[in-house]
Structures are given as structure tokens and as C-alpha cells.
Homo-oligomer: A and B are copies of this chain.
């Protein structure tokens, strides 16, 4: 893994890899929304590549579950259903629990300090009700903890699943009281990390995720009911 990474950092990544990332971003940031057709030709023109690397990228994205390829009918951004959320969240919970335990065994003092800094920043953005920047700081905290597990397989699995649900864009819908609660949970998470209390951190992260699930579910239900009304 480290070998292939070092090679990748020297050599220019191939076209298809770049395309995977860029299309992933289009999906996550909502330019390509769930249920929409992935316009193969347009994307080729937009990125200035031929269909070959584009189609290779689409195959990888399909294998990651971000899009669905229907034979002879093209690619579609996969919808996030309530059923899928109910599947993904427990799995993410199991992974986060493990990450928390491992992180407490392996995290450095510098990394804990980095979490502390990100935490303070996150709280500031909460006070300002700045959802965008709150999300970024929040995300940074979880990334540091995950990386501190020193388990690239775990990190990769978690990232892959996170991407699938991140599209739900739950933050836009997060109610203020739930948001407040999330900040409090993060205070506990930081404390457990500082104490290197592995099992406790695992439980906290899992719980934190379950609450997040509540938010996402609510957002999705609202979205679905409003869609029905149209």
C-alpha cells in the first residue's frame, strides 16, 4: 500500500483516476444529483478526454456504489434510499467504533492537539451558525481520529461508505437543538481521546453516528415527502 502510494505520488495519476475523483466530487457536492443521468459525452467534453478513460472511471464509481450502470442504458447517480441508510449506518458505526479503539492506542500528542484545535474552531463556527465551515472542522476531526487508527484498510472502507451517504447533505436540514447536541458529543469525544479511553471513545463515536443517522433520516424523509407533493 505504501509502495503503490509512493509510486503514485511520483508518477502522474492516470486519466481514469483523476476522472474518478472529479466525478465523485460532482456527485458529493450535488452538481450531479441523486437519480440524475451521468452524461458521459458531456463529461468527456468538459474534461477534455475520450470515452475510454471516462468509461473506465464510471466502472470504478459503479463498483464503489456511487453510480449504477444499466446495460445499454448508461450511468445514473444512485439515489439514497432510507433502506440504504439503514444498512450503511450500522456498518459505519462498527467501523467507527473500531477506529476509536485503535486511535486511542496509536494517536500522538500532536494529533490530539490538532483535534483540539479543530474542535475549538468547530465550536466557533457553531456559535456563528456557519454550517459550511462547521462541517469542514467537524470532518477534519473525524479524519484525524480515523487516520490515527493506523489502519489504512479501515480508513479506506470508512471513506468509501461515507461518500455514499455524504450526498444526503443532511447538514442543510440539521435543526439547532440537534446541532447543539452534536457539539456536546464532540466535547465528550475530545475528552475520551485525551484520556486515551479506547472503549469509551468507540462507544461515543458510535452513538454520535447514530444521532447523525437520525438527522439524515429526517432530512431524507422531508425530502421524499416534498418530492411526493410535487
Contacts and interface: CB of A to CB of B under 8 A. Distances in A.
B87 A154 contact: yes
Is the contact region of chain A dominated by helix, strand, or loop, or is it mixed?
A: helix
A68 B152 contact: no
A90 to B, nearest CB: 6
B16 A59 contact: yes
B151 A90 contact: yes
Interface residues of A, number: 39
Given A56-B56, A60-B60, A97-B94, A87 B4 contact: no
Given A4-B68, A71-B12, A157 B59 contact: no
Interface string A131-171: 00000000000000000000111100100010000000000
Interface string A81-98: 001100110110111011
Contact of A59 (B1, B11, B60, B154): B60
Interface in A97-131: 97-98, 102
Interface in A1-27: 1, 4, 7-8, 11-14, 16
A228 interface: no
Q: Which one of A70, A71, A88, A153 has the greatest number of beta carbons of chain B within 10 Å?
A: A153
Given A7-B71, A59-B60, A71-B12, A91 B95 contact: yes
A195 interface: no
18 contacts: A1-B84, A4-B68, A7-B70, A7-B71, A8-B71, A14-B71, A56-B59, A59-B60, A60-B60, A63-B64, A84-B153, A87-B152, A88-B153, A91-B153, A94-B95, A94-B98, A153-B161, A157-B157
Interface of A: 1, 4, 7-8, 11-14, 16, 52, 55-56, 59-60, 63-64, 68-72, 83-84, 87-88, 90-91, 93-95, 97-98, 102, 151-154, 157, 161
